Amino acid sequence: MSETGLTSSTNTMGTTPGYMPGFGNDFETEALPGALPQGMNSPQKCAYGLYGEQLSGTAFTAPSHQNERTWCYRIRPSVKHVGRFEKIDVPYWKSAPHVLDDVISLGQYRWDPIPHAGEPLTWVTGMRTVTTAGSVYTQAGMASHVYLVTESMEDEYFFSADSELLVVPQEGRLRFCTELGVIDIEPKEIAILPRGLVYRVELPDGKPARGFVCENYGQKLDLPGRGPIGANCMANRRDFKTPIAAFEDRDAHSRVVIKWQGQFHETFIDHSPLDVVAWHGNYAPCKYDLRDYCPIGAILFDHPDPSIFTVLTAPSGVPGTANIDFVLFRERWMTMEDTFRPPWYHKNVMSELMGNIYGEYDAKPDGFAPGGISLHNMMLPHGPDKTAFDKATHSNLAPEKLDNTMSFMFETRYPMHLTEFAAKEAPLQDNYIDCWDSLEKNFDGTPEGNWKR
């Protein structure tokens, strides 16, 4: 037995113990020798008395390059992992559409880090929805959350039938004990938890954890096309890590919570549902170290659109316009000549929610603390404040290292609507909109302008 209680293979399966490298690969892994059938999916009798079962992440008839499924060989079939359902209330976890008459979502917003409340909170009860977009019913759009976890789930499990979850830790480590293996993540890493995957969330260090979640209602997250960039840089497939098989054969009164169509239900069983002894397929959880992301940028003048920093994208029905983009702004060199180097002023058809993992963001040196969030909704102008503008306009443009910085953006084609928590309970900075008030008129009708140094 491991410290998680799950029994796993002694084969480390790659250069990172406990994980297999690659994104979207067809993996195969077994926690007991001979548990995985070879050459077929559904033998008449599975080894060890196991049950064969398929977990499908796409329709059976999805194109082969998009088709995702995993064959699981488990102690009990999943029909034994649920019973009669009862609705429960999870008041702070909201799903789209969630439009409130008394909340104004139109605006530029920023929040201080959401503090821990001082009450016991698990992965489910500690989820705090900030924005929703699109519709969970039509499987389009997303929600953004902050999680506040102070205690591990014990004999309790969760899965979402609505969504894939992208988890971005900011403080403290998490352990996801899933049907397909164990994932440990810490700040500067992310995890992807597929729709329908059953798991338990633990605090391996016993310390509170905080971070961000992008709940994806639409098509699965994928790596963006690199186009003329070619085969390398940005996020490389080999750096994503998928866990090896691990299972629990444990009898205990257990609670399973299911999110389905924005509603929450519970059911009770008499055993752990994490009982997959072997599996093969390409529908599985994974993690990625953001420090492995290799940024691309301009090396002479100007700088590309921020889409050049895309780590993951979930497509929509409009080519080139994402349901979700996950964009990373990390340490990098700035070398452009005669160029305004911070992100420029703009309005965008996409809605942008940013979070700060650590350090200082170059467009907003003040007020955007680690753990903080900002929202610039679709077609609302935004850009650097006066401090950032003056520094970028008048500084000596020598090569400069942007250091000690890591922030990200959840971007979507849909307008984001604030929840009541975001508008009335979270530490909203009422004066954020004022950060542009001190910008001055520099135009005086002469080519030199009225630049003040």
Residue 137, token pair as written in the block: 């019913």
The one-letter amino acid at 282? N
- Of 368, 313, 25, give the one whose Cα is nearest residue 166: 313
Backbone angles phi, psi at 141, to 5 degrees: 100, -155
By the 10 Å C-beta count (0-12 exposed, 13-18 middle, 19+ buried), 289 is classed as middle
The yes-or-no answer on residue 303 being catalytic is yes
The string over 108-129, giving b where at least 16 C-beta atoms fall within 10 Å of a residue's C-beta and e elsewhere, is ebbbebbebeeeebbbbbbbbb
Backbone angles phi, psi at 171, to 5 degrees: -150, 125
Torsion of CA 375, 380, 384, 390, to 10 degrees: -160
* Catalytic residue (one of 65, 98, 303, 417): 303
Give the residue carrying structure tokens 């992807």.
Answer: 192
Q: How far apart (Å, rounded) are the C-alpha atoms in residues 25 and 336?
A: 38
Give the residue carrying structure tokens 């928590």.
Answer: 421
Q: How far apart (Å, rounded) are the C-alpha atoms in residues 314 and 325?
A: 6
* Contacts (Cβ under 8 Å, ≥6 apart) of 308: 295, 296, 297
DSSP string, 191-203: EEE-TT--EEEE-
Q: How far apart (Å, rounded) are the C-alpha atoms in residues 140 and 388?
A: 36
Q: How far apart (Å, rounded) are the C-alpha atoms in residues 415 and 144?
A: 12
The residues annotated with a catalytic role in the active site are 303
